[in-house]
Structure 1
Amino acid sequence: MGHIAAALDALIAWSARIGADPLLVQGGGGNTSVKQDGTLWVKASGTWLAQARERDIFVPLPLDEARAALGHADGEARLARLGDAQALRPSIETSLHALLPHPVVAHVHSVNTIAWAVRADARTRLDALLKDLNWAWVPYRRPGYPLTQAVREALNARAADVLVLANHGLVVGAGDCAAADALLSEVERRLALPERSTRSADPARLRAVNDLNWEEPQDPRVHALGTDAAALAIARDGALYPDHAVFLGAHAAVLEGADALSDAVARCTAAGGVAPAFALLPGAGVLVAPGLSAGAQAMLLCLALVALRLRGDAPLVYLGDEDVAALVDWEAEAYRRALARPAH
């Protein structure tokens, strides 16, 4: 049992470290796993990698049974049943971790990778940046089983240790945590993009329009979504990746002309049928709905960090309405959102 404990201890330490880096993982996003002696230890859905040292966030599943489930059309449901005896649900990406042959796998929402993966020319640009790494491009599919099927198709074409997921993130696999960390660091080095500097928020203007008593974001860097013209255009045009849609919705409220906040919120709600999580005041900053969860706040920071790495000179690919609906209406994501809400 000693080597099982050692492998899990290494995963816990590494997960906590990468989970604390907002350029790699935000809130409850991202997941890691280790395969040891027939058991797949995978992060539980909705838990935070950053808290891996303080909380039990890994769920053990029988690896052979998890892999056997992948051979069935209802593989996602079969995997869910494997986790029924656990206090926490296995990650929604458990099928992906089971499919990959590597002993250690990490799926992260790397800000740098996302900033490439949302571009219309992503695959061509990544071919040049990652050309001598063993990598593969995976077209966008809904997280969970559909994504795993897309990964299976990509791996049938070529084996890979690095997967770039269109409009989603990055997956690395290796023999142990040290090797996986080295590979992750190398991909990050190659894909690193400069972050634009931007103006500070204008608190007086934000107060003047705030007739709903909304709040300022927890991290002041989020204000760049209002003060930076390119970031504003990116944020107002829709959802770029799954956690954007799940935690923030498809659209922000955008104040125009002499709008008060209530005008923009009402307009956004009428157009989309859902109240927005945040509002953009061009040139001044961002306001967020009262009580916005820590997870959603982390996703707002992620959006700002991604947008500040995009210059607005390349066409972007947004998630379609059907993609967003599939995410927002998915029971597994509703469960994850519920875990992110503060207790009352």
Structure 2
Amino acid sequence: MVNADFLNDLIALSARIGADPSLVQGGGGNTSLKRGDALWVKASGTWLAHAHERDIFVPLPLAQVRDALRHDDGETRVNLLSQGLALRPSIETSLHALLPHALVVHVHSVATIAWAVRRDAQTQLAQRLDGLNWAWVPYRRPGHRLTQVVAGILNTRTPDVLVLGNHGLVVGAADRAGAEALLAEVERRLRLPQRDAPSSQPQRLAQVNDLHWAPAPLELVHALATDAQALRIAAGGVLYPDHAVFLGARAAVVNDSECLSAALARTAAECGAAPCFALVPGAGVLTAPDLSDGAQAMLHCLALVALRLDGEAALAELGESDVAELIDWEAEKYRRSLMRTPN
């Protein structure tokens, strides 16, 4: 472990939020600390929950990162600054560097996502976040493109809270206490009730499971097939980046007259890729044998989000080109490769 006492607060905060699936799932989310001319930022694909046990932060020269952001190829320039490091810095490094706050926290808050995927998100959030120094950021692919949009906002003011459309939440503060207090306040204001869902039906799952896929290990995940509204969401489009990156563009839906293999073949023919999980309406969810722990965590997140959406609000799903770009992006392929290693 890096012997740097000044990182203790960052490590403690990161481990705490990383252990809370309502804030961070698997290797998602990232945190950073600026100290002098160094930016300490979470490494791509590492888990915040492991902050106490593993070295998950990498140092970068802050002034040089910020200088790189002034160029159209800023993302490439930032990557060059990390050459020689054992771990890659987070995809969101440019955003962490841009923000002036000493401590920055980016989470995939379930409550925030449940608002940020709505077409009326800005109106709803304006009511709930009134009085806070916040800003809405329309969806852009994570990384430099997103940072460029935030840079435009910072030309006129410096918000302490950013709600990222179809993505998540960012808070910035001077220290750990300030970041924790601000994060807790936003979570309090955006909290949504979670619906109770019907139980899974193991017998029905077994009947269609001719490929011997595993039932989802968490009962809550089965709500994606047993709750009518959650089923519509899970069978529909993609809502946020990690939904696409770790769960793919489409789930298979096993119709009444089908077995699992037939549903997978039909879905693969329709969308050009093999699904990694299957929804059996009214019964539950089946997962591919090689589905990583990280992807399982993303299924859990999808269930948490879907059970907070009531069906009355229109959703702003990511476009097909947005989804394809995320899935094919080399930076996300790298993150997926780390998810396949034991955690």
**What TM-score range do you get, normalising by the shorter chain?**
over 0.9
Give the match's secondary structure for 1:66: helix
Any idea what SS the aligned residue of 2:64 has? helix
Residue of structure 2 in register with 1:96 after alignment = 95
Counterparts of 1:28 and 1:154 in 2: how far apart (Å)?
28
Q: Secondary structure at the match of 1:115?
A: helix
Q: Secondary structure of the equivalent of 2:33?
A: strand
Q: Secondary structure at the match of 2:135?
A: strand
* 8 Å Cα contact 1:137/1:154 also seen in 2: no
1:125 aligns with 2:124: yes
Q: Which residue of 2 aligns with 1:176?
A: 175
3-state secondary structure, aligned to 1:263:
helix
> What is aligned with 1:23?
22
Superposition map of 1:209-224 within 5 A: 209-224=208-223
Alignment gaps of 5+ in structure 2: none
Letter in 1 for 2:244: A
Amino acid aligned to 2:205: L
- Shift in Å, 1:313: 0.7
2:283 maps to 1:287: no
1:219 CA drift (Å): 1.6
**Mean Cα displacement is larger for which, 89-98 or 151-160?**
151-160
- 2:295 is aligned to 296
TM-score, L = length of structure 2: 0.98
Give the letter for the 1:141 counterpart: R
TM-score normalized by the length of structure 1: 0.97
SS of the equivalent of 1:180 reads helix
Please tell me whether the aligned partners of residues 70 and 95 of structure 1 are also in contact (alpha carbons under 8 angstroms): yes
Q: Is 2:56 the partner of 1:51? A: no
TM-superposition CA deviations, 1:200-243 (whole Å, max 9, x none): 10000000000011111122210000000000001111110000
**Aligned AA (1:308):** L
Query: 2: CA distance between counterparts of 1:217 and 1:255?
Result: 15
Q: Which residue of 2 aligns with 1:34?
A: 33
Q: What residue number does 2:158 align with? A: 159
Tell me, what secondary structure is at the counterpart of 1:33?
A: strand
CA distance in 1: counterparts of 2:324 and 2:238, whole angstroms? 11
2:155, 2:284 → 1: CA distance?
46
User: What is the root-mean-square deviation of aligned Cα atoms in Å?
Assistant: 0.9
- Could you tell me which residue of structure 1 aligns to residue 66 of structure 2? 67
Where 2:286 maps in the other structure, the secondary structure is: strand
Q: SS state of the match for residue 92, structure 1?
A: coil
In structure 1, give the amino acid aligned to 2:139.
Answer: Y
Q: Secondary structure at the match of 2:155?
A: helix
Corresponding residue number in structure 2 for 1:310 = 309
Q: Which amino acid aligns with 2:272?
A: G
Output the CA distance in 2 between the equivalents of 1:329 and 1:13: 34
* Cα separation, 1, equivalents of 2:157 and 2:213: 50
Q: In structure 2, what is the Cα distance between the partners aligned to 1:241 and 1:127?
A: 21
| 1:5 Cα deviation from its structure 2 partner | 3.1
Give the drift of 1:257.
Answer: 2.0
Match of residue 261 from structure 2: 262
> Structure 1: which 5+ runs fail to align?
none
Q: Distance in 2 between matches of 1:82 and 1:258?
A: 55
Residue identity opposite 1:84 in structure 2: Q
The offset of 1:301, in angstroms, is 0.2
**SS of residue in 2 equivalent to 1:259:** coil
For residues 51 and 271 of structure 1, what CA distance do their matches in structure 2 show?
A: 39
Stretch of structure 1 that moved more, 211-220 or 274-283: 211-220
For residue 191 of structure 2, what is the amino acid of its counterpart? A
AA aligned opposite 1:34:
L
Shift of 1:322: 0.6
Instruction: Among all aligned residue pairs of Structure 1 and Structure 2, give the percentage whose two residues are the same amino acid.
Output: 67
Instruction: State the shift of 1:311 in Å.
Output: 0.6
Query: What's the offset of the Cα at 1:253?
Result: 0.1
Letter in 1 for 2:196: S
SS at structure 2 position matched to 1:154? helix
Specify the code of the residue in structure 1 equivalent to 2:317.
Y
Instruction: Quote the Cα distance in structure 2 between the aligned partners of 1:219 and 1:156.
Output: 45
Partner of 1:248: 247
Q: Which amino acid aligns with 1:13?
A: A
The 8 Å contact of residues 118 and 317 in structure 1, kept in 2 or not, is answered as: yes
Distance in 1 (alpha carbons) for counterparts of 2:4 and 2:179: 18
In 1, Cα distance between equivalents of 2:290 and 2:258: 23
Q: Deviations over 1:266-308 (max 9, x none)?
A: 1110011110010001101100111200000000000000000
1:6, CA displacement in angstroms? Answer: 3.5
Give the Å deviation of 1:86.
0.7
**Residue type matched to 2:115 in 1?**
W
Runs of 4+ off more than 4 Å: none
Q: 1:148-207: CA deviations, max 9, x gaps?
A: 011112222432000000000000000001110110000000000000011110000000
